Structure 1
Amino acid sequence: MSVSQDISLNYSAPGSDIFVNESSNADKKVHIRIQQRNGRKTLTTIQGIDECYDLKRILKVCKKEFACNGTVVEHAEYGQVIQLQGDQRTKINDFMLKLGICKKAQVQVHGF
Protein backbone atom coordinates (compact mmCIF):
# COMPACT_ATOMS: atom_id res chain seq x y z
CA MET A 1 0.00 0.00 0.00
CA SER A 2 1.45 3.36 -0.99
CA VAL A 3 0.50 6.60 0.62
CA SER A 4 0.89 9.75 -1.44
CA GLN A 5 1.01 13.08 0.27
CA ASP A 6 0.58 16.42 -1.38
CA ILE A 7 3.27 18.61 0.16
CA SER A 8 3.55 22.18 -0.98
CA LEU A 9 6.70 23.98 0.07
CA ASN A 10 7.37 27.66 -0.34
CA TYR A 11 10.73 27.95 -2.04
CA SER A 12 11.93 31.33 -3.23
CA ALA A 13 13.85 31.77 -6.39
CA PRO A 14 17.55 32.49 -5.85
CA GLY A 15 18.12 36.19 -5.34
CA SER A 16 14.52 36.93 -4.39
CA ASP A 17 13.55 38.28 -0.99
CA ILE A 18 11.39 35.89 1.03
CA PHE A 19 9.64 38.78 2.79
CA VAL A 20 8.43 40.52 -0.39
CA ASN A 21 4.80 40.08 -1.50
CA GLU A 22 4.67 41.84 -4.89
CA SER A 23 5.77 45.36 -5.80
CA SER A 24 8.14 47.65 -3.96
CA ASN A 25 7.62 51.30 -3.04
CA ALA A 26 10.48 52.30 -0.73
CA ASP A 27 9.91 56.06 -0.39
CA LYS A 28 8.26 56.20 3.05
CA LYS A 29 9.86 56.64 6.47
CA VAL A 30 9.94 53.71 8.86
CA HIS A 31 9.33 54.78 12.46
CA ILE A 32 10.59 52.67 15.36
CA ARG A 33 9.06 53.79 18.65
CA ILE A 34 9.06 52.66 22.24
CA GLN A 35 6.01 52.93 24.49
CA GLN A 36 6.05 52.66 28.26
CA ARG A 37 3.45 50.27 29.63
CA ASN A 38 3.52 49.88 33.40
CA GLY A 39 6.57 49.71 35.60
CA ARG A 40 9.56 48.62 33.55
CA LYS A 41 7.48 47.03 30.78
CA THR A 42 7.77 48.51 27.30
CA LEU A 43 6.52 47.92 23.75
CA THR A 44 8.49 48.54 20.57
CA THR A 45 6.38 49.51 17.56
CA ILE A 46 7.51 49.52 13.93
CA GLN A 47 5.35 51.58 11.58
CA GLY A 48 5.73 52.49 7.92
CA ILE A 49 7.17 49.27 6.46
CA ASP A 50 6.28 49.05 2.79
CA GLU A 51 3.10 47.10 1.95
CA CYS A 52 4.98 44.79 -0.39
CA TYR A 53 6.56 43.06 2.63
CA ASP A 54 4.71 40.36 4.53
CA LEU A 55 4.65 41.73 8.08
CA LYS A 56 3.61 38.43 9.62
CA ARG A 57 6.68 36.69 8.19
CA ILE A 58 8.93 39.52 9.38
CA LEU A 59 7.31 39.28 12.82
CA LYS A 60 7.83 35.53 12.96
CA VAL A 61 11.56 35.90 12.25
CA CYS A 62 11.91 38.82 14.70
CA LYS A 63 10.23 36.90 17.51
CA LYS A 64 12.61 34.02 17.06
CA GLU A 65 15.69 36.21 16.58
CA PHE A 66 15.05 38.54 19.53
CA ALA A 67 13.44 35.98 21.90
CA CYS A 68 10.36 38.12 22.50
CA ASN A 69 6.67 38.02 21.71
CA GLY A 70 4.85 40.31 19.30
CA THR A 71 1.90 40.91 17.04
CA VAL A 72 0.74 42.83 13.99
CA VAL A 73 -2.05 45.29 14.83
CA GLU A 74 -4.22 47.43 12.58
CA HIS A 75 -4.02 51.12 13.51
CA ALA A 76 -6.59 53.60 12.21
CA GLU A 77 -4.01 56.26 11.29
CA TYR A 78 -0.80 54.29 10.62
CA GLY A 79 -2.13 51.10 9.00
CA GLN A 80 -0.48 47.84 10.00
CA VAL A 81 2.00 48.18 12.86
CA ILE A 82 4.34 45.55 14.30
CA GLN A 83 4.46 45.45 18.11
CA LEU A 84 7.26 43.67 19.96
CA GLN A 85 7.64 43.19 23.70
CA GLY A 86 10.54 44.98 25.35
CA ASP A 87 13.01 47.57 24.08
CA GLN A 88 14.02 46.15 20.67
CA ARG A 89 14.84 49.47 18.94
CA THR A 90 18.51 48.83 18.15
CA LYS A 91 17.96 45.16 17.30
CA ILE A 92 15.09 45.80 14.87
CA ASN A 93 16.98 48.70 13.29
CA ASP A 94 20.05 46.50 12.64
CA PHE A 95 17.83 43.63 11.47
CA MET A 96 15.95 45.70 8.88
CA LEU A 97 19.12 47.33 7.56
CA LYS A 98 20.92 43.98 7.32
CA LEU A 99 18.08 42.38 5.34
CA GLY A 100 17.55 45.43 3.13
CA ILE A 101 13.93 45.95 4.15
CA CYS A 102 14.68 49.66 4.34
CA LYS A 103 17.63 51.99 3.94
CA LYS A 104 19.41 53.85 6.72
CA ALA A 105 18.01 57.19 5.53
CA GLN A 106 14.45 55.84 5.80
CA VAL A 107 14.65 54.68 9.42
CA GLN A 108 13.78 57.06 12.24
CA VAL A 109 14.21 55.77 15.81
CA HIS A 110 12.14 57.51 18.50
CA GLY A 111 12.16 57.07 22.26
CA PHE A 112 13.52 58.23 25.54
Structure 2
Amino acid sequence: MVELDIQIPSAFDPFFEAKDSGAPGAKEYVHIRIQQRNGKKSLTTVQGLKKTFSYEKILKDLKKEFCCNGTVVPDEELGGKVIQLQGDQRKNVSNFLVKAGIVKKEQIKIHGF
Protein backbone atom coordinates (compact mmCIF):
# COMPACT_ATOMS: atom_id res chain seq x y z
CA MET A 1 0.00 0.00 0.00
CA VAL A 2 1.29 3.47 -0.87
CA GLU A 3 1.27 6.22 1.74
CA LEU A 4 0.69 9.73 0.49
CA ASP A 5 1.92 12.86 2.21
CA ILE A 6 -1.11 15.05 1.66
CA GLN A 7 -2.00 17.84 4.03
CA ILE A 8 -5.70 18.39 4.39
CA PRO A 9 -6.51 22.08 4.70
CA SER A 10 -8.28 22.94 7.91
CA ALA A 11 -10.74 25.70 8.69
CA PHE A 12 -9.41 29.21 9.16
CA ASP A 13 -8.64 29.91 12.83
CA PRO A 14 -8.44 33.65 13.66
CA PHE A 15 -6.73 32.89 16.99
CA PHE A 16 -3.98 30.74 15.43
CA GLU A 17 -1.27 33.37 15.94
CA ALA A 18 -2.09 33.65 19.61
CA LYS A 19 -2.26 29.87 20.13
CA ASP A 20 0.97 28.79 18.43
CA SER A 21 3.16 30.33 21.12
CA GLY A 22 3.62 28.72 24.51
CA ALA A 23 2.85 31.78 26.59
CA PRO A 24 1.25 35.20 26.17
CA GLY A 25 3.66 37.76 24.79
CA ALA A 26 6.07 35.15 23.41
CA LYS A 27 5.61 36.48 19.87
CA GLU A 28 5.52 40.03 21.22
CA TYR A 29 2.11 40.77 19.72
CA VAL A 30 -0.73 42.37 21.64
CA HIS A 31 -4.10 41.38 20.18
CA ILE A 32 -6.98 43.83 20.58
CA ARG A 33 -10.31 42.26 19.61
CA ILE A 34 -13.96 43.18 19.69
CA GLN A 35 -16.70 40.72 20.57
CA GLN A 36 -20.35 41.38 19.88
CA ARG A 37 -22.64 40.78 22.85
CA ASN A 38 -26.37 41.33 22.41
CA GLY A 39 -27.88 44.11 20.32
CA LYS A 40 -25.54 47.08 20.10
CA LYS A 41 -23.45 45.98 23.07
CA SER A 42 -19.83 45.00 22.47
CA LEU A 43 -16.76 43.99 24.42
CA THR A 44 -13.11 44.86 23.76
CA THR A 45 -10.43 42.34 24.80
CA VAL A 46 -6.70 42.96 25.15
CA GLN A 47 -4.57 39.80 25.03
CA GLY A 48 -0.84 39.20 24.88
CA LEU A 49 0.60 41.71 27.32
CA LYS A 50 3.73 40.52 29.10
CA LYS A 51 3.21 38.78 32.43
CA THR A 52 5.52 41.27 34.16
CA PHE A 53 2.94 44.05 33.81
CA SER A 54 0.32 44.65 36.46
CA TYR A 55 -2.93 44.01 34.61
CA GLU A 56 -4.98 45.54 37.42
CA LYS A 57 -3.10 48.88 37.23
CA ILE A 58 -3.38 49.01 33.44
CA LEU A 59 -7.10 48.24 33.71
CA LYS A 60 -7.57 50.97 36.31
CA ASP A 61 -5.93 53.55 34.03
CA LEU A 62 -7.92 52.37 30.99
CA LYS A 63 -11.22 52.58 32.88
CA LYS A 64 -10.40 56.07 34.15
CA GLU A 65 -9.24 57.30 30.73
CA PHE A 66 -12.18 56.02 28.68
CA CYS A 67 -14.99 56.22 31.30
CA CYS A 68 -15.99 52.58 30.88
CA ASN A 69 -16.12 49.48 33.04
CA GLY A 70 -13.84 46.48 32.68
CA THR A 71 -12.30 43.42 34.27
CA VAL A 72 -9.30 41.10 34.14
CA VAL A 73 -10.21 37.47 33.39
CA PRO A 74 -7.95 34.39 33.26
CA ASP A 75 -7.36 32.85 29.83
CA GLU A 76 -7.81 29.08 29.98
CA GLU A 77 -6.13 28.32 26.65
CA LEU A 78 -2.90 30.26 27.10
CA GLY A 79 -2.73 30.39 30.87
CA GLY A 80 -2.41 34.18 30.98
CA LYS A 81 -4.80 37.03 31.61
CA VAL A 82 -7.07 39.04 29.33
CA ILE A 83 -8.34 42.58 29.91
CA GLN A 84 -12.00 43.11 28.97
CA LEU A 85 -13.54 46.56 28.50
CA GLN A 86 -17.10 47.59 27.76
CA GLY A 87 -17.75 49.07 24.33
CA ASP A 88 -15.65 49.37 21.19
CA GLN A 89 -12.38 50.74 22.58
CA ARG A 90 -9.95 49.23 20.04
CA LYS A 91 -8.43 52.47 18.72
CA ASN A 92 -8.42 54.09 22.16
CA VAL A 93 -6.64 51.13 23.77
CA SER A 94 -4.00 50.89 21.03
CA ASN A 95 -3.24 54.62 21.29
CA PHE A 96 -3.13 54.39 25.09
CA LEU A 97 -0.71 51.42 25.10
CA VAL A 98 1.64 53.15 22.65
CA LYS A 99 1.50 56.50 24.46
CA ALA A 100 2.12 54.85 27.85
CA GLY A 101 5.16 53.02 26.45
CA ILE A 102 3.82 49.55 27.24
CA VAL A 103 4.15 48.28 23.65
CA LYS A 104 5.30 49.62 20.29
CA LYS A 105 2.88 50.33 17.47
CA GLU A 106 4.31 47.48 15.38
CA GLN A 107 3.50 44.98 18.15
CA ILE A 108 -0.26 45.69 18.15
CA LYS A 109 -2.72 43.73 16.02
CA ILE A 110 -6.29 45.04 15.93
CA HIS A 111 -8.95 42.47 15.01
CA GLY A 112 -12.65 42.89 14.31
CA PHE A 113 -15.09 44.17 11.79
For the aligned pair, the TM-score class normalised by the smaller chain equals 0.7 to 0.9
Q: Is the 8 A contact 1:71 1:84 kept in 2?
A: yes
Q: Is the 8 A contact 1:31 1:48 kept in 2?
A: yes
Structure 1 runs of 4+ with >6 Å offset: none
From the two aligned structures, give the one with the greater helix fraction.
2
The equivalent of 1:37 in structure 2 is: 37
The equivalent of 1:54 in structure 2 is: 54
| Per-residue CA distance 1:63-101 (angstroms, 9 max, x = gap) | 010000000000111320000000000000000000110
Structure 1 pair 88–28 and aligned structure 2 pair: CA distance change class (3 A): same
Aligned AA for 2:83? I
Q: Determine what percentage of the aligned residue pairs are the same residue.
A: 58
Gaps of 5+ in 2: 1-24
The SS at the match of 1:62 is: helix
| Per-residue CA distance 1:24-66 (angstroms, 9 max, x = gap) | x785110000000000000000000011110000000100100
In 2, Cα distance between equivalents of 1:48 and 1:26: 8
**TM-score using structure 1 length:** 0.75
Gaps of 5+ in 1: 1-24
The equivalent of 1:67 in structure 2 is: 67
Q: Is the 8 A contact 1:26 1:102 kept in 2?
A: no
The SS at the match of 1:105 is: helix
In 2, Cα distance between equivalents of 1:48 and 1:101: 12
Q: Is the 8 A contact 1:34 1:45 kept in 2?
A: yes
The SS at the match of 2:52 is: coil
The SS at the match of 2:106 is: coil
The SS at the match of 2:94 is: helix
In 2, Cα distance between equivalents of 1:100 and 1:77: 27
The SS at the match of 2:105 is: coil
Q: CA RMSD in A?
A: 1.4
